[in-house]
């Protein structure tokens, strides 16, 4: 069961998948231009010392996104596959 979570909710080192972009206007266009579309996997690499912006790995590029913009990027957690070799 997935709750509404935004990109601000993931901690450094955590992965997530974009479920919806709620941004509008030029910010939406910028996010789409960098490949931040539905089902894109993102990883939080860290936050600046003041907490804003945060750095994310998106399609092989490191992108800094402000907290107010992260609030409009809805995500789902990535289910980690566990491989058990017998």
Nearest residue to 35 (alpha-carbon basis) of 80, 65, 5: 65
Q: Mean pLDDT throughout 69-83? A: 77
Residue 19 contacts by C-beta under 8 Å, 6 or more apart in sequence? 2, 38, 74, 75, 76
Predicted TM-score of the model (pTM):
0.81
- Residue-wise pLDDT for 23-72, tens only, equals 999 999 999 999 999 999 999 999 988 878 999 999 999 999 999 999 99
Q: Which domains does the chain have, with CATH numbers?
A: 5-77 (2.30.30.90)
């Amino acid at each position: 069961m997935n709750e509404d979570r935004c990109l601000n909710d993931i901690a450094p080192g955590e992965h997530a998948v974009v479920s919806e972009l709620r941004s509008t206007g030029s910010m939406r266009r910028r996010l789409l231009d960098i490949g931040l579309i539905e089902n894109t996997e993102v990883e939080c690499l860290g936050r600046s010392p003041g907490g804003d912006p945060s750095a994310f790995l998106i399609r092989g590029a490191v992108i800094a996104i402000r907290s107010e913009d992260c609030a409009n990027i809805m995500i789902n957690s990535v289910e980690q596959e566990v491989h058990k070799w017998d």
